[in-house]
């Protein structure tokens, strides 16, 4: 998955 652009990370 080229995921949701790492937006759950800080």
Partner 1 sequence: MNVFRLSGDVAHLIAIIILLLKIWTSRSCAGISGKSQILFAVTFVARYLDLFTNYVSIYNSVMKIVYLLASFGTVYLMYMKFKATYDHNHDTFRLEFLILPAIALSLIINHDFAVIEVFWTFSIYLESVAILPQLFMVSKTGEAESITSHYLFALGSYRALYIVNWIYRYYMEGFYDMIATLAGIVQTVLYCDFFYLYITKVLKGKKLQLPA
Interaction site with partner 1 (CB under 8 A): 1-3, 5-10
Q: Which two tokens stand for residue 1?
A: 């998955």
CB of 7 to partner 1, least distance (A): 6
CB of 2 to partner 1, least distance (A): 7
DSSP state of 10: -
């Amino acid at each position: 998955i080229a995921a949701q652009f790492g937006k759950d990370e800080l």
